[in-house]
Amino acid sequence: MRTTSKLWLGVIILAFLSPLGLLLPEYFKAGDAWGEWGTETLQELVGYVPQGFTRLSALWSAPVPDYAFQGWEEKGLGNLSFAYISSAVIGIGITVAVIMLLGKLLTKKD
């Protein structure tokens, strides 16, 4: 098996394992993933929200918040797992497209 085939197989396996992000925090009674905090969570954890964080948080909103489609937050585990896998596949696709585009732009043509 070629190295690139192994890489793609690993990426696909990781995409299908992404719903573990739904199960493990519930099982271990954990909160948000480290660094994925919003202003409310940061206020609870630290006791205040830095001014720059508040100002910059309004500039960006995630295209797929919480890795679930709009209105799917209260649906069952099967639907949420599908949304997690879809988010992973979309993210992988965007990353690959950007890297390929950069590769085309940065390579010299002889």
43-101 confidence digits (pLDDT tens): 988 899 988 888 888 787 777 777 777 777 777 888 888 888 988 899 899 999 999 99
Compute the chain's Rg from CA coordinates. 18
Residue 87's CB: how many other CB atoms inside 10 A?
A: 20
Identify the band that residue 110 occupies on the pLDDT scale cut at 50, 70 and 90.
Answer: low
Q: Is the dihedral of CA 63, 77, 33, 38 positive or negative?
A: positive
- How many residues can be counted in the chain? 110
Average pLDDT over residues 16-45: 81
Distance CA 35, CA 18 (A): 17
Distance CA 37, CA 20 (A): 19
Is the pLDDT confidence value at 33 over 80?
A: no
Is the pLDDT confidence value at 6 over 90?
A: yes
Block residue for tokens 């202003």: 39
Residues 6+ apart with CB under 8 A from 88: 14, 15, 18
pLDDT of residue 1: 81
**Closest Cα to residue 80, out of 62, 64, 91?**
64
pLDDT of residue 94: 93
